[in-house]
């Protein structure tokens, strides 16, 4: 992998946005981490290893990595002193497990899911309309979204007012009460990102989350060319919903940055 850049130690820093995006190739996870190479994003290579660091991404300073584990480990060791302990590594599960063997820092696994196609059509949502009617982008609804998340998903990473959370979509019941929501959050020009998916407990099991996610994904794929999200590996119900929408999954993991 070659690109114009500056070499410090073993790491070559990519200094042009086109080189950073080119190094990411078609990898949606790395493209998402690059965030369109917004201010503060940096990237380095060493051999076939690539590291893309983005501050304040999904509420953490994150560095996505890929490449042969020994080269990635050497690159991470060279970068750790200049970054800091608050950074979190992000990469595919086999790579992160190998890095854990080398560093002793255990990763936490979860699923990355993405698609470059519009979501698959609805086949029925439990309410008999088979579509996404009623789902809309919300205006001036932060208080309602916040209340729904506190009830339905108190551990959600995307909440109103958090940096990077752009807008919320929602579905209301016949009385006008917000019963399901999802956010366009931490999206970038190449990858739209869905977060904050929640359905009111009394309305679960009726396909409302699927309807809202289908709406948001359709909008993001149209705008960015890809849509993506993260989901806990031990949440088969949510994974099933996202697979029905056409998202493909791969197991990834995060861990603390270490120079060990």
Query: 10 Å Cβ neighbour count for 240?
Result: 11
What are the tens digits of pLDDT across the range 234-247? Answer: 999 999 999 999 99
In 3D, which of 73, 125, 127 has the Cα closest to residue 98? 73
pLDDT value of position 126: 43
Q: Identify the pLDDT of residue 21.
A: 98
Q: Are residues 93 and 140 in the same domain?
A: no
Residue partners of 254: CB distance under 8 A and separation at least 6: 62, 88, 89, 90, 96, 107, 108, 110
CATH number of the domain to which 151 belongs: 3.40.630.30
Look at residue 159 and tell me if it is in a domain: yes
Under a CB-based contact definition with an 8 Å cutoff, are residues 197 and 209 in contact?
yes
- Assigned domain for 240 exists: no
pLDDT at position 58 over 70: yes
The answer to whether residue 73 scores a pLDDT higher than 60 is yes
So what's the pLDDT on residue 130? 40
Q: Is the pLDDT of residue 124 over 90?
A: no
Q: Are residues 102 and 124 in the same domain?
A: no
Quote the percentage of the chain above a pLDDT of 70.
92
Estimate the crossing angle of helix 69-83 against helix 93-103, to 10 degrees.
Answer: 70
Structure tokens at 239: 């994974």
Last residue of a domain, one of 77, 109, 141: 109
The rounded distance, in Å, linking the Cα atoms of 54 and 39 is 9
166 and 194 fall within a common domain: yes
Residue keyed to tokens 């660091």 = 53
Indicate if the pLDDT at residue 175 is higher than 90. yes
Domain that holds residue 182: 117-225
Q: Would 242 be classed as within a structural domain? A: no
Res 165 pLDDT > 60: yes
**How large a percentage of the chain has pLDDT more than 90?**
86
pLDDT of residue 1: 38
Do both 144 and 88 map to the same domain?
Answer: no
235 close to 113: Cβ distance less than 8 angstroms: no
DSSP 116: S
Q: What is the mean pLDDT of residues 63-85?
A: 94
Digit-coded pLDDT (tens) for 6-50: 666 799 999 999 999 999 999 999 999 999 999 999 999 999 999
Q: H or E stretch including 112?
A: strand 108-115
pLDDT at 183: 98
Tally the C-alpha atoms within 13 A of residue 22's C-alpha that lie toward its C-beta. Answer: 11
Could you give the number of structural domains in the chain?
A: 2
Range 126-148 average pLDDT: 80
pLDDT at 14: 98
Q: What is the mean pLDDT of residues 171-188?
A: 97
Q: Is residue 214 part of a domain?
A: yes
Global pTM value: 0.92
**Which residues does 187 contact at the CB level (< 8 Å), separation at least 6?**
166, 193, 220, 224
Confidence of residue 129 (pLDDT cuts 50, 70, 90): very low
Same domain, 121 and 105: no
Across the chain, mean pLDDT equals: 92
Collect contacts of 74-78 with beta carbons under 8 A, ≥24 apart. Answer: 74/10, 74/46, 74/49, 75/10, 75/11, 75/44, 75/45, 75/46, 75/49, 75/51, 76/51, 76/257, 76/258, 76/259, 77/259, 77/260, 78/9, 78/10, 78/11, 78/46
Residue 258 lies in a domain: no
Domain shared by 95 and 150, yes or no: no
On whether both 153 and 220 belong to a single domain, the answer is yes
pLDDT in tens, 204-225: 999 999 999 999 999 999 999 9
């Amino acid at each position: 992998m070659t690109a114009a850049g500056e070499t410090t130690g073993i790491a070559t820093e990519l200094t042009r946005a086109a080189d950073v995006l080119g190094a990411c190739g078609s990898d949606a996870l790395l493209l998402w981490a690059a965030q369109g190479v917004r201010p503060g994003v940096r990237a380095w290579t060493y051999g076939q290893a690539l590291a893309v660091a983005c501050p304040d991404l999904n509420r953490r300073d994150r560095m996505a990595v890929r490449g042969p584990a020994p080269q990635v480990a050497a690159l991470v060791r060279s970068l750790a002193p200049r970054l800091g302990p608050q950074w979190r590594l992000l990469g595919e599960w086999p790579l992160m497990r190998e890095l854990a063997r080398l560093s002793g820092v255990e990763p936490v696994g979860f699923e990355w899911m993405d698609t470059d196609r519009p979501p698959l059509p609805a086949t029925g949502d439990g309410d008999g309309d088979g579509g996404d009617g009623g789902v809309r982008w919300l205006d001036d609804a932060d208080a309602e979204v916040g209340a729904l998340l506190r009830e339905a998903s108190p551990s959600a990473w995307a909440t109103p007012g958090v940096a990077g959370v752009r807008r919320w979509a929602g579905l209301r019941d016949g009385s006008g009460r917000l019963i399901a929501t999802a956010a366009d959050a931490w999206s970038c020009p190449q990858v739209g990102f869905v977060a904050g998916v929640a359905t009111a407990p009394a309305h679960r099991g009726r396909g409302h989350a699927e309807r809202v996610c289908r709406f948001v994904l359709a909008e993001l794929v149209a705008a960015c060319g890809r849509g993506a999200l993260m989901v806990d590996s031990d949440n088969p119900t949510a994974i099933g919903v996202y697979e029905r929408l056409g998202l493909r999954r791969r197991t990834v993991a995060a861990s603390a940055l270490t120079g060990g």
